[in-house]
Amino acid sequence: MSHSYRYSWRALLPDYAGGAIGFALPLGALACAHPAAPVAWVLAAAAALFLVYFARTVCRQLTHIELDETGIRVRGPALGPRSAALRWDDLCSLRLDYYSTRRDPEARTVEGGWMQLRLRGAGRTIRIDSELEGFLELVRAASTEARRRGAELDWATRANLGVLGMAE
C-alpha cells in the first residue's frame, strides 16, 4: 500500500505572495528612488533574499512524498533540494514540533500555527511541515512505525501527538 503526498498550491499561496511582494518592493524602490549606493546594496540584497524564498516555495510545491510499508521517500525537483529516502527499519527518531502563531499556549491546533515532522535515521533527516496535504495521515503512519521500532519520542512529540489524537 503506497501513498503519495504533496504541497498544494492553495496552502503555499501565502508563501508565494510573500516572496513576490518581498522581491517586488525593493526592486521598485531601486527603480523609482535611485538611492545612494549603500541603500541600493541593502535593497538588492533584500530582493535577492526574497527571490530565494520564492524559489524555495516553488521547490516545495514540486516535491512529492511517498510513503509505503518499507519507508518514506521525498522526491524533489531536479534543480531543487536533494531527494531523500528513509527505510522504517533505519528510523531512530521521530520529532513533532508545534510552532504557534498565537500567544495562547493552550491553542495547540494546526490552524493556530503549524507543525513540523522530523524523521531521522541512517544519517538522514527528513522534515515535513503541516502544509502538506495528508499531513495527519502521514504523521499517524510515521508515529506507528516509530513506536513499533522503539524510536526515540521526546515529551514534546508525545504531547503534540496527543493533541492530534494519536497518543500512545
pLDDT band at 100 (very low <50, low <70, confident <90, very high): confident
For 135-155, write each residue's pLDDT tens digit. Answer: 999 999 999 999 999 888 999
Query: What pLDDT does residue 2 have?
Result: 84
pLDDT band for 113, please (50, 70, 90 cuts): confident
Mean of pLDDT over the chain: 90
Q: How confident is the model at residue 64 (pLDDT cuts 50, 70, 90)?
A: very high
pTM of the predicted model as reported, rounded to 2 decimal places:
0.81
Confidence of residue 62 (pLDDT cuts 50, 70, 90): very high
* % of the chain with per-residue pLDDT over 70: 90
**Sequence ranges of the domains in the chain:** 6-62, 76-163
User: Which string of DSSP letters, residue by residue, matches the chain?
Assistant: --EEEEB-HHHHHHHHHHHHHHHHHHHHHHHHH---HHHHHHHHHHHHHHHHHHHHHHHHHH-EEEE-SSEEEEE--TTSSPPEEEEGGGEEEEEEEEEESSS-TT--SGGGEEEEEEEEETTEEEEEETTBTTHHHHHHHHHHHHHHTT-B--HHHHHHHHHTT---
Q: Which CATH class is domain 76-163?
A: alpha beta
